[in-house]
Amino acid sequence: MTTCIDCQHWNPKATDTNMLHFGFARCDKKPLPGHTLSAKAEACEQFAQLEADKVQARVAWLKDRKAIV
């Protein structure tokens, strides 16, 4: 199963760094501001695959900020 970190709607740049440290980021498709889903959550019905190079760039961006290990 794919995880949220691979989805176009998972938005770590709009998320507090403290939340990123725990693997959470804002989902642009959720109606409540600040609603978060874990990077390891199962894909939801609104999942939209992000291109592999962009997923790698996202992971590198998070690691650079020591948001994930």
pLDDT per position in the chain (69 positions), as tens?
468 889 999 888 888 888 887 778 888 888 766 566 787 888 788 899 999 999 999 888 888 877 665
Q: Is the pTM of this model over 0.75?
A: yes
Q: How confident is the model at residue 33, as a pLDDT?
A: 63
Q: How confident is the model at residue 52, as a pLDDT?
A: 95
Specify whether the CB–CB gap between 69 and 22 falls below 8 A.
Answer: no
41: left (phi over 0), alpha (psi -120 to 50) or beta: beta
Q: Which amino acid is at 39?
A: A
**Phi, psi (rounded to 5 degrees) for 49:** -60, 130
